[in-house]
Structure 1
């Protein structure tokens, strides 16, 4: 596995692959890798001849007061895990390498409307930072396919919209969420949870599943369903940011006429902000 920290070396390596007509898959991460990330890499190996993984804790997607300084960084362990799944290239740049003009003087990419909903309301500027860094990385790696987990469903839609609007010749491949036996979605921020909180955290997924089952049974008062689950989470010690039933395609608030839905939630438990979602298709009455 090649480990590269410079833009020039990355470009040169990818150029060599292209001369050999090899296809390239890309998995962008912020490190502190877990089985969910490795599952993305395994899927990437299936889809392309070469796999690039980036590990970069991107400062522009953290709002003031968020956990940028405390975010878990485990570069040696990350490299070892990626070797174990036969990654071809690990790109580990510094902030100065990707933002040479400094964070205050960089060009930003922003996806309107989608970035303002849900997590965007509670993390101002977050998705602008995400769109910007993914745009830069797409330009550097120039992959045929890029893989993203469905746990970050809003992020997935934003990246798809950005790639389409800016005409990136890259296929965005979504990979289902990897979960622990309890149902808890794997996340780098799960390391913030105590042992007791980790057991408790699985309630978020159960609440999403209960809401989905209620809708499948024919309940159409989505606001009532949302309130019930928020109250359940609050009673268990969570601090919910939102619990919302949305249209799957564009995250607009869902109505009785919508069949393809996604239920999304974000809630704090101790120091960890947990996000998760469940998608469902309901039959419309005729």
Structure 2
């Protein structure tokens, strides 16, 4: 297995093995890998001759310094997990200096308003950081295809918009959410949950499924009230938001339209650990 810490070494290696027709698949991650990440790698392997995974905790997408400090960093364990998928996967695990070259700042991006909804409203500058790092990684790896999990559905839509607006030659693929046995969406942040909190967090997906069922015959406003009232009964949870939005524009649903696809988005704290999830409502 090849593991590169410097982009110059990675690009030299890729240049040596790439041909004009070689398809390169890319999975950008922040490490602390779980089965959801591994499923993205498997999808890439199926459709590309070469698969690259990056492991990099990107400082410019954190607007909470404590969250950045506490984010799990488990490179050795991550590499062992990657080997269970394939030892031919190329790992790029750079330093902040290698990526940002002494200028650890994000670039401002215009995502046609997608950035102002939900996560963008609650985490100022977050999607500028996401766009900055993803664009840099795309320029380094030059992938044919890139794979993102739908747990971060807003991020997925924003990356697609960035690729479109900057005329990048990579195809973006969204892949289904992987869940733990109790329904909790797999996330690197789950590692920070206690066993009790992890069990209790099953309520998130249970509530999303109930919201989906109610959305068939109730208004968006009524479904939102149901979700808010559900978590008010559980003091270990602090609901940051639950929104029903158009999948394409991410604008909040005011009145349902049969021609649109809707999704329920949630951000919630349990034991001061922030979790997000979403569900298709159509």
Please confirm whether the aligned pair reaches a TM-score higher than 0.5, indicating the same fold: yes
Give 4+ residue runs of structure 1 displaced > 4 Å after superposition. none
1:252 is matched with 251
Residue aligning to 1:231: 229
Aligned position for 2:94: 93
1:151 and 1:275 in contact (8 A); partners too:
yes
Name 1:240's counterpart in structure 2: 239
* Mean CA deviation greater in 252-261 or 166-175: 252-261
Contact 1:109 1:135 in 2 (8 A): no
- Using the alignment, how far apart are the partners of 2:103 and 2:93 within structure 1? 18
Equivalent residues in 2 for 1:143-182 (5 A)?
A: 143-182=143-182
For residues 64 and 38 of structure 2, what CA distance do their matches in structure 1 show? 30
- State the match for 1:53 in structure 2: 53
2:44 is aligned to 44
Query: Distance in 2 between the 1:66 and 1:127 partners?
Result: 18
State the alpha-carbon separation in 2 of the partners of residues 144 and 20 from structure 1.
11
The one-character-per-residue Cα deviations of 1:119-155 (angstroms, maximum 9, x if unpaired) are 1111111111011100000111110100000000000
CA RMSD of aligned residues (A): 1.4
CA offset at residue 271 of structure 1? 2.7
CA deviation vs aligned residue, 1:141-176 (integer Å, no higher than 9, x gap):
110100000000000000000011111111101110
Assess if the C-alpha contact under 8 Å between 2:107 and 2:129 holds in 1. no
Deviation at 1:269, TM superposition (A): 0.5
TM-score under structure 2 length normalisation:
0.95
* Structure 2 CA distance for aligned equivalents of residues 9 and 156 of structure 1: 28
Spell out the pairing of 1:1-286 with structure 2 (5 A cutoff): 1-19=1-19, 21-86=21-86, 87-104=88-105, 107-216=107-216, 218-219=217-218, 221-236=219-234, 237-254=236-253, 255-258=255-258, 259-281=260-282
Give the TM-score, by structure 1 length: 0.93
Q: Which 5+ residue runs of structure 1 have no aligned equivalent?
A: 282-286
Whole-Å Cα distance in 2 between the matches of residues 110 and 52 of structure 1? Answer: 28
- Provide the C-alpha distance between the structure 1 equivalents of 2:256 and 2:181, rounded to a whole number of angstroms: 33
Alpha-carbon contact 1:110-1:127 (below 8 Å) kept: no
Distance 2:154 2:275 in 1: 14
**Are the equivalent residues in 2 in contact too, given 1:192–1:271 (CA < 8 A)?**
no
Q: Deviations over 1:89-147 (max 9, x none)?
A: 1000000001113225x644453411111011111111110111000001111101000
Q: Residues of 1 paired with 2:37 and 2:146: CA distance?
A: 13
Q: Report if aligned partners of 1:30, 1:58 keep a CA contact under 8 Å in 2.
A: yes
What secondary structure is seen at the aligned counterpart in 2 of 1:68? helix
Paired with 2:69 and 2:148, the residues of 1 have a C-alpha distance of: 24
Compute the displacement of 1:20 (Å): 6.7
C-alpha contact (below 8 Å) 1:110/1:132 kept by paired residues: no
